Structure 1
């Protein structure tokens, strides 16, 4: 059990190719995340690179990409992103392990991975939003939807989790489509250098 959570062990077992891939993924995530924050879009698009890493290099490499993305977004965009690093960590592991178990080899598996990632993000992000930010982080226009639902339901938990679910179903759907299209265009000889989870 201790070995599973030994981060140093996970990092030391990563190949040089994987370690090079992580900053590239973080860069892709930052472009999407910063763009959405700047334009106040009701999306995040900050997991595209993480999904690609999950497919190529596995769950723990993806988790590192996700956490680093949140740290950098907290620096370059808004400190609000920092507590959501745990959300990225959990979503990366869920996605990475589903890919590792072969879920990305067919359309049904991709849909299952998308839904699992969206559900994980909805629950964990809602808890952060509720207990860290009191129900609204203000990082994008989703807060407007939360306030609208709150005016109708009068229940903060239902309002936050409902707006988060709507947002994540759309956001993760777009993210998975973009990530899939990028992976699909990668040369086979490049894919062969990484994990065989897509074969």
Structure 2
């Protein structure tokens, strides 16, 4: 909460401050915040039927790129996050000043870039802070890949689950960050003695690129059906890359549980290559669906300061609230109001 009523805030500043307040309050969901607001309204005598704000309305207060802001709702949100009445009034005043400044301020020309010199170094603590969280998250993604593989090996699951961390990095940071996690995971496995995994590093890299570009370039996380389709596409891409490796390097068998599917197809008269492709595709589709949604859940649990890009965080919020994007403005899915 700001210590004074600054007049140079814009709506994005307020949204970022709300995100920081939410993180300090333990990161309650938008639905939980709405429930707290409803209870406070009922205590003030508001009818129950009119007390519950839409989840999308609550989420919208935290969204960047707003063209207007509801000061009263912001006051209710900060009270729900633990602020007292005096602090909430300060937030409402801040919103009002930002609204006035938006209408009154003329468009300002873009200032020329400041050239950094040796005599006048420009410090960037925020960038350094972001880089630290990036490194922490990338290491965590590699650990996620190994944890999934260990679970499969321990339980004998007909899945892979070795790309959960890759998916997190590719969607939260970008496709080439996902490639870095994929390459890092493969390198660690190879150094630790699991040399059979080296050829499959290409599969992990292909999945990183498919998830990363699928989310950013094609809006694969804008809605639940889109993300479901994207995960299936990633499964197909990984199969296309992995089957040649299976056939040329391992003769179609690696000892994985999916080999049983291929053996059954061969026993029924199927040729080996089509049988391996079918078995791998079935396993990969199920695996990428599960891995993709686990990765999306992990991203949704991360605090905003850990994300290099806000894109996926906002996508997770829209998916959680049933929101989708049309003509640059958010709208609520018809199913939410049905």
Contact 1:33-1:73 at 8 Å conserved across structures: no
Contact 2:235-2:284 at 8 Å conserved across structures: yes
Deviation per residue, 1:58-108 (Å, 9 max, x gap): 000001111222233345573321110011111111111111223212112
Task: Give the Cα separation in 2 of the matches to 1:42 and 1:77.
Answer: 23
Structure 2 unmatched runs, 5+: 1-129, 315-338
1:190 is aligned to 305
Task: Give the Cα separation in 2 of the matches to 1:51 and 1:164.
Answer: 19
Q: Which of residues 183, 190, 206 in structure 2 aligns to 1:67?
A: 183
Q: Which of residues 25, 33, 39 in structure 1 aligns to 2:141?
A: 25
Taking a change above 3 Å as real, the CA distance of residues 153 and 75 of structure 1, as seen in their structure-2 partners, is farther
Contact 1:22-1:53 at 8 Å conserved across structures: yes
Greater helix share, structure number? 1
Task: Give the Cα separation in 2 of the matches to 1:100 and 1:15.
Answer: 21
Q: Give the aligned length.
A: 183
Q: Which has the larger radius of gyration?
A: 2
2:249 is aligned to 132
Deviation for aligned residue 1:115: 1.3
1:5 is aligned to none
TM-score normalized with structure 1 length:
0.83
**RMSD, matched Cα:** 2.0
2:284 is aligned to 168
Contact 2:133-2:305 at 8 Å conserved across structures: no
TM-score normalized with structure 2 length:
0.51
Contact 2:167-2:207 at 8 Å conserved across structures: no
Counterparts of 1:85-96 in structure 2, within 5 Å, are 85-96=201-212
Taking a change above 3 Å as real, the CA distance of residues 77 and 164 of structure 1, as seen in their structure-2 partners, is farther
Which ranges of 4 or more aligned residues in structure 1 deviate by more than 3 Å? 14-17, 73-78
Taking a change above 3 Å as real, the CA distance of residues 147 and 75 of structure 1, as seen in their structure-2 partners, is farther
Q: Which of residues 129, 145, 151 in structure 1 aligns to 2:261?
A: 145
1:116 is aligned to 233
Deviation per residue, 1:44-66 (Å, 9 max, x gap): 11111111111211000001111
Task: Give the Cα separation in 1 of the matches to 2:153 and 2:221.
Answer: 29
Deviation for aligned residue 1:177: 1.8
Contact 1:29-1:49 at 8 Å conserved across structures: yes
1:80 and 2:202 correspond = no
2:272 is aligned to 156
1:44 is aligned to 160
